[in-house]
Structures are given as C-alpha cells and as structure tokens.
Amino acid sequence: MLLAAAKGAEKDAELSMRKALVVVRQQSAKLGELAAATALAQLWHLQGKREVARELLQPLCAWFTEGFEYPELRNAGHC
C-alpha cells in the first residue's frame, strides 16, 4: 500500500518499511518479518536494486521449512 500511495515519496516509504522491519525483528515474528522484508524488497526491485533485495529475502526464505501456502511466502518470490 505504501508503494501505491508513495509515488514520488519512495524515501519516506523506504524509511517506513525499514522501521517496520526493525519492529517485527524485535518481536521475533518471522512471518511478519518476511512480509515487511518483501515490501522493502519490492521497492528496491523497482529502484533497480535487485541484488540487495535478493540478499534481504534469501536468508528469511531459508528459515522457513514449511507453510509455503502462506501468502507471505508466495509473495516473497524467493521462497
């Protein structure tokens, strides 16, 4: 949603996504972390930062061994 609403405000959207990622990491909420990381990775992908996006998602995807039916795992694209 942030991406859709943030045309021209990518820096604000990225900052919000980074903050969300910090919060869910502090909560040890892996599925929430994956959702936040996926949103940030999608922004980076649009900005041409594909390798950085992949580096963010790969370790998270590797953590999961089941639950691949969850939308968060499907949306990550690398899981």
Handedness of CA 42, 26, 12, 31 (dihedral sign): positive
**Residue range 33-61, pLDDT digits in tens:** 999 999 999 999 988 999 999 999 999 98
pTM tops 0.85: no
Residue 63 contacts residue 30 (beta carbons within 8 Å): yes
Q: How far apart are CA 8 and CA 11, in angstroms?
A: 8
Q: How far apart are CA 54 and CA 5, in angstroms?
A: 24
Q: How far apart are CA 75 and CA 36, in angstroms?
A: 11
